[in-house]
Amino acid sequence: MSTPKYDDAFLLDLYRKMVTIREFELRAINERRAGLIPGFIHSCVGQEATAVGACAALQPQDVITSTHRGHGHLIAKGGQARYMMAELAARTTGYCGGKGGSLHMTDFDLGILGANGIVAGGIPIAVGAALAFQQRREARVALAFFGDGATNEGAFHEALNLAGVWKLPVIFFCENNLYGEGSPQHTQAPVKDLAERAASYAFPGVIVDGNDVLAVFEATRQAADRARSGQGPTLIEGKTYRYRGHYEGDPMLYRAKAEVEAWRQRDPISTFRRYLLQWSAASETDLQDVETSIKGELDEAVAFAAASPVPAPETALEGVYGETWGGRVF
Ligand SMILES: Cc1ncc(C[n+]2csc(CCOP(=O)(O)OP(=O)(O)O)c2C)c(N)n1
Ligand SMILES: [Mg+2]
């Protein structure tokens, strides 16, 4: 037996990607504690279904922009764990040659236009990419991931307004994990559902269970069809949750343990695992094989990162872009 709607291989791939994200994050957290990784990590543990469901609905020629909590988005769009781990470890073999770290990982070949340390910073970038696609009459879609907190930024509203006026092929994907740092969403926004905000810009706002990878996939597929056929943008609000702190080291005094536990009962990976077994879309052995192979891939990624050199000091100015004026770079 198999599900009536989806191919087993497709479903197993969704599972593989979600587990890769979870294991990547847990591994990176450990390697940071062990001293391999300097700098901050904002992990997306618990939010795997939004990244994977949304990117599964895109085509290879489509692009995404990401956030400070972006490792999952990168893996979902095809990013390789070894180059990501090497970047986190500040090694020359990483996505940015070891100079960017978690907040700047980018792979244009995969349509990943970059993680972003500026809250809401990726949203206008996706709108710019969508404008280019429309002008060049390319059947491509741009998707911006961002958090609930980002919807209170001016850049969010300006970008959605322009995208609405020009009916650009863009999807605004809000991962509403209920908090911006330590601030609960309801203390920051006067609307109950952030999807309501699309009404101001005259395009649909859709609410989806962000812990249900197939629900996310379906909502994003509809939005991508709309964008590709010239009907303009969609705002998707995926309701989800991060289990860990805003950053590693956050004492999380702003929320109750019971709330975290309640969300763990709706874990996106274990729910989907049960679904695959119920429908016999995969056997217990298939799933264990996937889990084991991901652990091996991550062992390899960590070894690759650890064996790679750090950038030489004399290369500090390479890859730095800015305006030049009288021979000086600003
Ligand atoms: C423009 C800007 N303002 C403030 C910050 C500091 N900051 C980093 S993450 C964050 C919270 C963002 O919340 P949300 O958009 O909900 O994303 P989440 O962390 O929940 O994934 C803030 C305020 C920043 N990086 N950029
Ligand atoms: Mg948030």
For residue 120, give the ligand nearest its CA.
1
Q: What is the CATH number of the domain that holds 293?
A: 3.40.50.970
C-alpha 117 – ligand 1 centre gap (Å): 8
Instruction: Give residue 1's pLDDT.
Output: 59
Tokens of 149: 């907190």
Query: Would residue 2 count as lying in a domain?
Result: no
The minimum-distance atom of ligand 1 relative to the CA of 151 is 15
C-alpha 103 – ligand 1 centre gap (Å): 12
Query: Would residue 193 count as lying in a domain?
Result: yes
Query: Would residue 34 count as lying in a domain?
Result: yes
Question: Exposed/middle/buried for 327, CB within 10 Å: 0-12, 13-18, 19+?
Answer: exposed
- Residue 301: give the domain boundaries: 8-329
SS (HEC) of 123-135: HHHHHHHHHHHHH
C-alpha 145 – ligand 1 centre gap (Å): 13
Q: Count how many domains the chain has.
A: 1
The 8-class DSSP code of residue 317 comes to T
Query: Would residue 286 count as lying in a domain?
Result: yes
Compute the distance between CA of residue 294 and CA of residue 303 in angstroms, rounded to an integer.
14
Compute the distance between CA of residue 162 and CA of residue 144 in angstroms, rounded to an integer.
14
Per-residue pLDDT of the chain (330 residues; tens, 9 = 90+): 577 799 999 999 999 999 999 999 999 999 999 999 998 899 999 999 999 999 999 999 999 999 999 999 999 999 999 999 999 999 999 999 999 999 999 999 999 999 999 999 999 999 999 999 999 999 999 999 999 999 999 999 999 999 999 999 999 999 999 999 999 999 999 999 999 999 999 999 999 999 999 999 999 999 999 999 999 999 999 999 999 999 999 999 999 999 999 999 999 999 999 999 999 999 999 999 999 999 999 999 999 999 999 999 999 888 877 766 776 655
Given a contact cutoff of 8 angstroms between Cβ atoms, the answer to whether 18 and 52 are in contact is: yes
Query: Would residue 53 count as lying in a domain?
Result: yes
Cβ–ligand 1 distance for 50 under 6 Å, the answer: no
Given a contact cutoff of 8 angstroms between Cβ atoms, the answer to whether 90 and 38 are in contact is: yes
Query: Would residue 149 count as lying in a domain?
Result: yes
The minimum-distance atom of ligand 1 relative to the CA of 176 is 16
Cβ–ligand 1 distance for 69 under 6 Å, the answer: yes
pTM of the full structure:
0.97
Query: Would residue 3 count as lying in a domain?
Result: no
The minimum-distance atom of ligand 1 relative to the CA of 185 is 16
Cβ–ligand 1 distance for 273 under 6 Å, the answer: no
C-alpha 177 – ligand 2 centre gap (Å): 5
C-alpha 78 – ligand 2 centre gap (Å): 24
Mutate to test the pocket of ligand 1, among 43, 119, 153 (most ligand atoms within 8 A of CB): 119
Cβ–ligand 1 distance for 66 under 6 Å, the answer: no
Cβ–ligand 1 distance for 277 under 6 Å, the answer: no
Instruction: Give residue 329's pLDDT.
Output: 58
Given a contact cutoff of 8 angstroms between Cβ atoms, the answer to whether 119 and 66 are in contact is: no
Given a contact cutoff of 8 angstroms between Cβ atoms, the answer to whether 81 and 298 are in contact is: yes
Instruction: Give residue 330's pLDDT.
Output: 53
The minimum-distance atom of ligand 1 relative to the CA of 68 is 9
Phi, psi of 179 (to 5 degrees): -140, 145
Residues flanking ion ligand 2, Cβ below 5 Å: 147-148, 177, 180
Q: Whose CA is nearest to atom 21 of ligand 1?
A: 147
Query: Would residue 257 count as lying in a domain?
Result: yes
C-alpha 246 – ligand 2 centre gap (Å): 9
Cβ–ligand 1 distance for 245 under 6 Å, the answer: no
